[in-house]
Chains A and B, each alone.
Chain A
Amino acid sequence: GENVEQHPSTLSVQEGDSAVIKCTYSDSASNYFPWYKQELGKGPQLIIDIRSNVGEKKDQRIAVTLNKTAKHFSLHITETQPEDSAVYFCAGGGADGLTFGKGTHLIIQP
């Protein structure tokens, strides 16, 4: 089955700086890669996704890049704000379903 590795587990950045979270996947058949944001006591919420026929996708301050050859994808958040503080999960969609990474706790320092 699919194996998704995510790092770092914790990331602390100054407000206004950029944050980058990286994930790798194992199943070359995976073709769907969403990113979810989870705030304390809440369920995960989709923030952006990318399909394997696209190399990059942007939505305001958030972007995701995908390298199919290397089997890795990354989340980029620019001009970070206090409300960006949360746990972020990457996921990969393969024939056996959607597999989530272990999460990155993003801390925005004022």
Chain B
Amino acid sequence: GAGVSQTPSNKVTEKGKYVELRCDPISGHTALYWYRQSLGQGPEFLIYFQGTGAADDSGLPNDRFFAVRPEGSVSTLKIQRTERGDSAVYLCASSLGAGHPNTGELFFGEGSRLTVL
């Protein structure tokens, strides 16, 4: 596709459930980022992949959060035992550039809005 694609666009779940959010980056982009955006806040860094490996996962809030990118393209953000405080928009971005911090354009998807009841 032309841009970064994220699915689902909306996810409503109950406290304690497991959730997976998917990101399909722009073809050829080796760098992939996950951010979390709470209402009225800027994007907050979670994890950065260069190729298949997580080069920086320092933004993951705790061990309930995990992300993979097994073939260096599509990435999945996994959240176990969801809590109400996990409710936010989860943004994925990809970039041609390598290195962290990225000093080139980040192309963001439209996000997955997660609501934990």
Q: Which residues of A contact B (CB under 8 A)?
A: 4, 6, 31-32, 34, 36, 41-46, 49, 51, 89, 91, 93-103
Contacts and interface: CB of A to CB of B under 8 A. Distances in A.
Contacts of A43: 4, 91, 93, 108-111
Contacts of B105: 34, 46, 49
**Contact residues of B: prevailing secondary structure:** loop
Contacts of B28: none
Q: What 3 A-B pairs come out closest when comparing CB atoms?
A: A43-B108, A100-B42, A93-B101
Contacts of A32: 101, 103
Contacts of B103: 31-32, 51, 93
Interface stretch (B12-20, B43-51, B67-75, B76-84): B43-51
Contacts of A51: 103
A45 B42 contact: no
Nearest to A45: B108
B67 to A, nearest CB: 15
**Contact residues of A: prevailing secondary structure:** strand
Interface string B83-117: 00000000101000000111101101111000000
A104 to B, nearest CB: 10
Contacts of A41: 110
Interface in B1-58: 4, 40-45, 48, 56, 58
